Amino acid sequence: MIPTLSFRFPLGRYHATPWDHSANEGRLEWPPSPWRLLRALLAVWHQRAPEIGTTTITGLLQTLAGTAPRYVLPHTIHGHTRHYMPGVDLDHQGREKRFLAFDNFLSLPKEPQADGPGALLVTWDTELTDDQAKALAVLAQRMPYLGRADSICVAELLDTTPERDTWITPDPGGELRLLAPAPDVTPEQVEIDTRTMRKDRMVTPPGACWIGYTTPGEQTRKPDRPVRHRPRPTAVRFALESPAPLHFADTLLITDTLRRACLSLYGKQHRNPDGTGGQCPPLSGKDHADNISRNQHQHAHYLAYNSDTESPYLDTAVIWLPAGFDPDVLRAVTALRRLRPRHSRSEERNQAADIRVALEHVGDIADATPETTTAAPVTTWRTLTPVCFRRHRKKETTEEFVTHELRAELAAELDLPTDDVITKIHPTPHGTNAPWPADLPDHWARRYRRHRPSQTMNQRLPGLGLTLELAPTTARKITEKPRPLILGAHRHFGLGLLTPVRPAR
């Protein structure tokens, strides 16, 4: 009969170090070399099958050595673990030295069938006598492992050779090199140990030679690294600390300073060929031609408020980039350590103290601003900072003007019908039935700075504090992707920031 052995690995692991390599080199012998197979069979005979005669074993080995085997390989994945093993030496501090050891292995399918696709098949194109076939069946059945001792295997001699299209055959020009026995090898030569070889300064065992094999590249592959599609962070939160309290009235001053500092850091990290600082449209809101971006407010919003929304002082700054931070932009923003305002009401002109900045959070905007976002639908929202308007009121009343502006902006941002987004607007952040002011800004908004440091006081925008009663559809739309609700002009500088009024428990 033509002998075909099937090897299955119940633990799903195969360990074997090539003959001419160290165990710590990270190399694996796959498929098992013909030399390893004969040594394994001979070891089983010595330890587990002494009833088989020496003549039968010698004839079996020489018959198998006369022909290089063919293989069918299952799909495998190459892996390894690392272990720091204790040694006998001590370091200069008297501690036990440890050395790094690699444990390389192949992961194989746990195949239940001897001729299944997950089994390793080895066949020799030669004929065995009946006694040799019976001896080979006994040796295979009693083989406990193949390769290293923890490569537990189930070996079996098959009655017939399965028909497969993927047999791996010997090839003198093949890149895979396996150690094989010479046709006239003797059992004593197969039994040689590494100690004897080192003593006699031998590289290749006597009675052995190297033969080439060509293997399909897909049979053994390295594990595919999982591709983690992590969403880009959309928010960076900072804690603010200043010798003098930062009053809420200076919100726009602080956020404008925050924007300038981020652009400065980015420009220093990304110089142009002429030595000028690089431009960053996601942070500046302007393209490379210095034109204002028309990107549906996807560029950076700079927010400043107190984590206790009832406090009149600022202790938190947030940069919200709805489009997500690129690595280069995030690297520049997170390098921020201090702010130097041009002028604030808490300090005299040109003598403002530096504001220390500490990074608190990088991630999603809902996690960075829990004070101004909600995951549950909330219909009542009130302003933390006044909502400002780019244009001035004409002949309509203040209520008509504010209602038209806010409904149009919120409907366009949420893609909802204009008349269905807001049910009622109260002209006060306290939600009472206060009368509408005759003109803007109202008394509450006058306390806030409503012009940037590069602008004059004559360029201040009209604004007011208010409470919005949203339609249920609008409230649900906002919670589909929790985020801050910001309306009006100067929204990218923290004005027009609203906070949900959650019902009392």
pLDDT score for 216:
59
Which of 490, 452, 449, 493 lies closest to 318 in space, CA to CA? 493
Task: Note the pTM of the prediction, 2 decimals.
Answer: 0.57
The residues, ordered by sequence, that sit 6+ positions from 374 with a Cβ below 8 Å of its Cβ are 478, 479, 482, 500, 502
β-strands 338-339, 316-320 pairing: unpaired
Contact 374, 237 (CB under 8 A): no
d(CA 316, CA 484): 15
> How far apart, in whole angstroms, are the C-alpha atoms of residue 123 and residue 4?
4
44 closest CA partner among 134, 146, 196, 132: 146
Q: What is the separation, in whole angstroms, between the first and last Cα of the chain?
A: 84
User: Amino acid identity of 313?
Assistant: Y
Structural contact between residues 252 and 495, judged by C-beta atoms closer than 8 angstroms = yes
From the number of C-beta atoms within 10 Å of its C-beta (0-12, 13-18, 19+), residue 406 rates as buried
pLDDT of amino acid 219: 47
**What is the mean pLDDT for each group of 10 consecutive residues in the chain (505 residues)?**
94 90 84 95 95 95 94 91 82 79 89 89 94 96 94 94 87 89 92 88 90 68 60 94 90 94 92 84 84 81 90 92 92 93 52 82 93 90 91 85 90 84 85 79 88 87 90 90 91 93 73
d(CA 292, CA 275): 24
